[in-house]
Amino acid sequence: MALHFNSCPTELEEDQVLDYLHYLKSKSRTPSSSYFKHTVYGLRLAYKLSGVPSKQIFLPKLKLPKKLPVVLSQSEVKRLIKAAPLLKHQLIIGLLYGCGLRRFELINLQIRDVDVDRQMLYIREGKGRKDRYVPLGCLLVRGLQKYLQVEKPYLWLFNGRGPDGNLQQYSPTGVQWAIREAAKKAGIQKRVTSHVLRHTYATHLLEMGLDIMTLKDLLGHVDIKTTLVYLHVAQLDKERAFSPLDRLYHKSRS
């Protein structure tokens, strides 16, 4: 900004700053939204430190890219779980995929949240501080029963070791490390994260016939619009997409 105007940014008028931001926005290679944020927030801090009266500098309205979520295939999910060397890590991946949990929801799980008899999992204070129940299913229940018997976790369903060696809540980085190592061992080229497993859960449920409103409740979404994105990813039987090449050459062979 200083080079563009050949002037110290704190000496510029409000309309000059706004013109500059809109000039950047109109360029063929538009900077990222974080670039604009740093520019505006940096200017506000500069005004404050320099004792310059506050100016009304706002972010220009940016059109964010609409990216579809990365989703694993059913085969990739099986390979991922199988590649995890420890039962704890298999259950971490299994719960993220099998229950569609967010990472913070997983590490906040307590032993009392596992209802073996009803085969349900209680999610306390998910996003928006909303509680919800999600079904566990037979496979996860059997795995959790074995895990609880062998590992005997304390308070939290998954424990880690703190700097002092004492048991504590499992860390978010520990969760991501377990997923990353399993993906590497399974030979999965996609970047697999806890949220990719949640996306995969939602997509697979739709493909298996679950209705969108039930899925919304299972995911803990407030707005149905957030859930509708999975309709663009799921391959639904009623209008499953296909390549015209397959039909073209199949017809010619017959």
Active-site residue set: 102, 127, 195, 198, 221, 230
Which contiguous run of DSSP H or E holds residue 25?
A: helix 14-26
Cβ within 8 Å of residue 115, ≥6 positions away: 121, 122, 136
Q: What is the dihedral of CA 193, 92, 74, 183, to 10 degrees?
A: 50
